Structure 1
Amino acid sequence: MSDSSRDTAEGAGWGAAELGTYKRLMPPEVEKISWLNPKTLWAARNGLLASWFGDPTGRTRSRWVAQRAAAGAPADKVIRRDDPDRFSFLVIGDTGEGDDSQYAVVPGLLNVGQDTRFAILASDVIYPVGSADDYGTKFFRPYRDYQAPIYALPGNHDWYEDLDAFMRVFCGDAPPLAPEPAPRAFSRAWLRALLWHRPRKGDGRRLAEARTLRSAAVQQAVQPGPYWAIDAGPVRIVGIDTGLLGTIDAEQGAWLREVSEDPRPKILVTGQPLYVDGEHHPCAIEGGGTVDDIVRDPAHRYVAAIGGDIHNYQRYPVQVDGRRIQYVVSGGGGAFMHATHTIPRVDIADVTEKDFHCYPLRGDSLAFYSRLYGRRLRMRRFFTLTEAEAAAVVAERLGIPLTRAQQRTARITWRIRLVAALLGAGRRPDRTARLRLPVRKIYTQLFSPSSETYSPPFFKSFLRLDVTPEAVRLRCYAATGNRAQEIDPPVEDDITIPLV
């Protein structure tokens, strides 16, 4: 097994290394998404409109589900497979940027996942707005050599065009929804409808050609809608659609309660994580209750909850009524990297730093962002930290041991401390708190995608889950973009979850 980021800096992808072969998989021309482009920001306006004028996602979702039911989809929305008692599957989160960081994941994923029975894309299949003509280079082309079905859960970006393309690709070529009656003039709904972004006319003309890239019989999968359950071997995998604003409607909530009553052990996959960045986000259900209430109910036998949306890996082993549920963030499948160095010292639901796992390591995240800011602000000599310096200052600010096994303690100067404070390392209140650069909220919403790096290390990741009647083994594999990690993807986390 190759070194991981927890072993050496080289295992994290730092230093001179041979570039991976992933560029051979990429199309000749690659779209580079910039969220500083007013055209892109305007196209992605629906999330903001939903928060201002009311969220129509639940009603639209219900109409999609009704359409699929009328077309013969199973009423219980359960996909029943013939997997054996022992099998494996992949989970890949937030994939669809279509650039180097997405394609860099593919060679290692194919090596690790060649014997898996299926894969699940968890959140944001296509950026920036889920358009049908983007599926060629951002879904069909990158996964054309994966010889198994792929199921998907939409993220907020897939909802920016009312889920039209997602339904066409994953749900049996579903026809467009019929227009709704016009709302009352000058109402909030009328204002929202007036400004709402919809699929452009003629979108999807290249979709038939793109489908030929994944046309083998073993690659085909049709799911009953944007949320579903999969009965696979000894487990039930439950996938929910959290829409534009990270909640679920009453109809989906009732379905979730019903499918959760099945006696099999369960794994939840969701568009947004329930624990992330040291905080609990239980996911509200319209009409009352939360998704996490359902997950925590011992009668439902959930053993893990995996969410996308945040572009890194995190794991929180939470004790619930004498048993442990693994809450996982897995959004490192292809989009720009969300910082981990801004995660405060973890102390939530009896989960502490010694229990918490993340990838990239906080020190690597700080080193990555210090280079990024140094380049963007043309102040490389001031901002750039080595990986050893970044790890040392993060350990000091959080009061934790160094996390890399073979790392020497670097001397921490005033410049290193100032850069760490400016970039929000550990979020510890200090004199520079007001000066911190927006590495988390504003930055990742508006500027991070435009600052996407196109050379390793990328700090991407994906999950492999190996299921037996007794346990599920969950491993987080890294993808750096370097050749060494393509050939033998390093394991950044490895946990066995008992089912009995």
Structure 2
Amino acid sequence: MISTKVLYSAVLKTEKIDDAHKFQSLPQPSGSYPYRLKVDPIHNDEKLVFHMVGDTAGIGKSDLQQTVVNQMTTQYLNSTPDEQPSFLYHLGDIVYHYGEAEQYDTQFLTPFEQYPAPIYAIAGNHDSDVNPQSKEAYESLEAFYTTFCNTCPKTIHFGNNKHRKSQIQPHVYWTMEAGLATIIGLYTNVPKYGCIKKEQRSWFVKELQHAAKFSSEKAIIVCLHHAPYSADFNHGSSPNMIEFLESAFEEAGVKPDIVFSGHVHNYQRFNKQYLDGKTVPFVVAGAGGFEELHTLADPTDPEYYTESPLFDQVHLENYCDNRRGFLKIVIEKNPFSFIIKGEYYTVSNKNSENKNHALFDTFIVDLTGR
């Protein structure tokens, strides 16, 4: 018998899921419009380094989550000063299964207690959902706002980690202005395939156009929790997010240089080739610690389909669906070169004290000369 290698690609689920009723109203912003936060990186104007990871929460096997955090911490401490990350950007799902304050200490504050850099975040669907069986009533994103969207750095009252103070992000969707990068963070709410409404869409189009004014000096990065493209068996791709992004890019007349997401518990890197010649990577990095990993779906399985106009010129370049891991992003600019370099590190699944991280994938987005 001759075995054939499966050619994995982005998939859509055949069975349509309509859970629009799970949409949660957005809280009021904690900062002023247009919700921008300037972050001063620790490096000079020629380099920006940061970590990125999603779906770190752990409710069953917290050691898996702790291992990922420990390895990011180890990498930070073992880096030369010019390679140390200025911050960690979290792609959402900080706690499971609902965004209750009582979950933040064990699933976020304690595991990240020794991580040396500041942590910024966008909210995932689990961070935003409300437990209908909770004994105490609370609002969607209430604990997330206390932790990440405070008006000034404060002790987080529901945690035992006294060292990490609350962040001062201006809203649940917001833009980070960080040296060599403009990072636009979207909020995609609770429904399975995400939901973004008119007000946030209008803001996003304007932020893309604003970022484009500085594109010769800064990379344009878009982050959202729900993955637009995915080849996994559990979620598959999100037609909602694909259609949202593509229509916003067209209206703005601006495409980002790269798009990051979580939600799917694995690592995937897609490239999309546009008609104007630009190639945009779409990177999924949602294997940050949750005990269940999402393997890729067999594209011949009738539960999925791969033929869709939404997938035109979209190609899966690399993936890892059997190990947890995290990203290190380096943006470098000098008179001769301007690049985004991504490195994805995997963490051993073995339950041993000698866990370490290994480089799995490297990619470069060349912005030179634009």
TM-score tier after normalising by the smaller chain length: 0.7 to 0.9
The residue that corresponds to 1:474 in the other structure is: 342
TM-superposition CA deviations, 1:210-264 (whole Å, max 9, x none): 240425xxxx631011111111112111111100110112111111011111223
**Mapped partners of 2:366, 2:286: distance in 1:** 24
Alpha-carbon distance change, 312 to 152 in structure 1, aligned in 2, over 3 angstroms: same
Q: Is the 8 A contact 1:129 1:160 kept in 2?
A: yes
Q: Which of 161, 178, 181 is 1:235 aligned to?
A: 181
The residue that corresponds to 1:255 in the other structure is: 203
TM-superposition CA deviations, 1:350-372 (whole Å, max 9, x none): 345xx521103xxxx5xxxxxxx
Q: Which secondary structure does the structure 2 equivalent of 1:111 belong to?
A: helix
- The CA deviation at 1:144 is 1.2
Within a 5 Å distance, the mapping from 1:429-468 to structure 2 comes to 459-468=323-332
Q: Which of 48, 69, 72 is 1:87 aligned to?
A: 48
The residue that corresponds to 2:364 in the other structure is: 496
Q: Which of 291, 294, 298 is 2:248 aligned to?
A: 294
TM-superposition CA deviations, 1:85-131 (whole Å, max 9, x none): 30211111011115122112122111223410011111211011111
**Mapped partners of 1:260, 1:339: distance in 2:** 31
The residue that corresponds to 1:448 in the other structure is: none
The residue that corresponds to 2:101 in the other structure is: 132
Alignment pair present for 1:112 and 2:60: no
TM-superposition CA deviations, 1:9-46 (whole Å, max 9, x none): xxxxxxxxxxxxxxxxxxxxxxxxxxxxxxxxxxxxxx
TM-superposition CA deviations, 1:369-392 (whole Å, max 9, x none): xxxxxxxxxxxxxxxxxxxxxxxx
Q: Is the 8 A contact 1:340 1:358 kept in 2?
A: no
- TM-score of the superposition, structure 1-length normalised? 0.56
| Matching residue's letter, 2:325 | S
The residue that corresponds to 2:317 in the other structure is: 356
The residue that corresponds to 1:9 in the other structure is: none
The residue that corresponds to 1:182 in the other structure is: none
**Structure 1 unaligned regions, length at least 5:** 1-47, 175-204, 366-458
| Matching residue's letter, 1:256 | F
Q: Which of 149, 165, 181 is 1:171 aligned to?
A: 149
The residue that corresponds to 1:101 in the other structure is: 64
Q: Which secondary structure does the structure 2 equivalent of 1:151 belong to?
A: strand
**Mapped partners of 1:231, 1:90: distance in 2:** 16
Within a 5 Å distance, the mapping from 1:29-428 to structure 2 comes to 51=19, 54-57=21-24, 60-61=25-26, 63-65=27-29, 68=30, 73-83=31-41, 84-85=44-45, 86-98=47-59, 99-114=62-77, 115-161=84-130, 162-172=140-150, 207-215=157-165, 221-245=167-191, 246-261=194-209, 262-263=211-212, 264=215, 265-277=219-231, 280-283=237-240, 290-295=244-249, 299-320=253-274, 321-344=276-299, 348-352=311-315, 356-360=317-321, 365=322
Q: Which secondary structure does the structure 1 equivalent of 2:282 belong to?
A: strand
TM-superposition CA deviations, 1:295-331 (whole Å, max 9, x none): 4678424111111111000111111120110011110
**Mapped partners of 1:330, 1:234: distance in 2:** 22
**Mapped partners of 2:72, 2:354: distance in 1:** 11
Q: Is the 8 A contact 2:51 2:87 kept in 1?
A: yes
Higher fraction of helix: 1
Q: Which secondary structure does the structure 2 equivalent of 1:146 belong to?
A: coil
Q: Is the 8 A contact 1:260 1:300 kept in 2?
A: yes
- The CA deviation at 1:339 is 3.0
**Mapped partners of 1:280, 1:309: distance in 2:** 11
**Mapped partners of 1:250, 1:284: distance in 2:** 14
**Structure 2 unaligned regions, length at least 5:** 1-16, 78-83, 131-139, 301-305
Q: Is the 8 A contact 1:135 1:207 kept in 2?
A: no
| Matching residue's letter, 1:94 | D
**Mapped partners of 1:334, 1:247: distance in 2:** 25
The residue that corresponds to 1:420 in the other structure is: none
- The CA deviation at 1:171 is 1.0
- The CA deviation at 1:277 is 1.0
| Matching residue's letter, 1:108 | Q
Q: Which secondary structure does the structure 2 equivalent of 1:468 belong to?
A: strand
TM-superposition CA deviations, 1:178-237 (whole Å, max 9, x none): xxxxxxxxxxxxxxxxxxxxxxxxxxx99354240425xxxx631011111111112111
Q: Is the 8 A contact 2:23 2:189 kept in 1?
A: no
- TM-score of the superposition, structure 2-length normalised? 0.75
**Mapped partners of 1:208, 1:149: distance in 2:** 19
**Mapped partners of 1:101, 1:169: distance in 2:** 23
TM-superposition CA deviations, 1:397-420 (whole Å, max 9, x none): xxxxxxxxxxxxxxxxxxxxxxxx
Alpha-carbon distance change, 284 to 331 in structure 1, aligned in 2, over 3 angstroms: closer
Q: Which secondary structure does the structure 2 equivalent of 1:253 belong to?
A: helix
Identity %: 25
The residue that corresponds to 2:134 in the other structure is: none
**Mapped partners of 1:484, 1:296: distance in 2:** 50
Q: Is the 8 A contact 2:147 2:156 kept in 1?
A: no
**Mapped partners of 1:120, 1:343: distance in 2:** 31
Alpha-carbon distance change, 481 to 173 in structure 1, aligned in 2, over 3 angstroms: farther
- The CA deviation at 1:280 is 4.8
Alpha-carbon distance change, 55 to 339 in structure 1, aligned in 2, over 3 angstroms: closer
Higher fraction of strand: 2
